[in-house]
Amino acid sequence: MIDDMSYSYPDEGPPADLLIAAEAKTLGETFAQVAYAMFEIITPLEGIAEKEEFTL
């Protein structure tokens, strides 16, 4: 999970589009911030907890 949330949802832009502004130290970390923000739009992550863990 990402420790430092460094993204926001800017208000400007077309109403049908989703804008995400993210920043991090590396390009890979920036992409991780954007992916986390995209997923959080679909499913608010603060309501999800790990219940079970298993290895395949």
pLDDT in tens, 2-53: 566 666 666 766 555 777 888 899 999 999 998 988 888 888 777 788 888 8
Helix, strand or coil for residue 47?
Answer: helix
Identify the CA nearest to 9 among candidates 29, 26, 33.
Answer: 33
Angle at 10 between CA 45 and CA 37, to 5 degrees: 25
DSSP H or E run through 31? helix 27-42
DSSP H or E run through 27? helix 27-42
Give the tokens for residue 20. Answer: 């995400």
Q: What is the pTM of this model?
A: 0.55
At 32 the pLDDT is 92
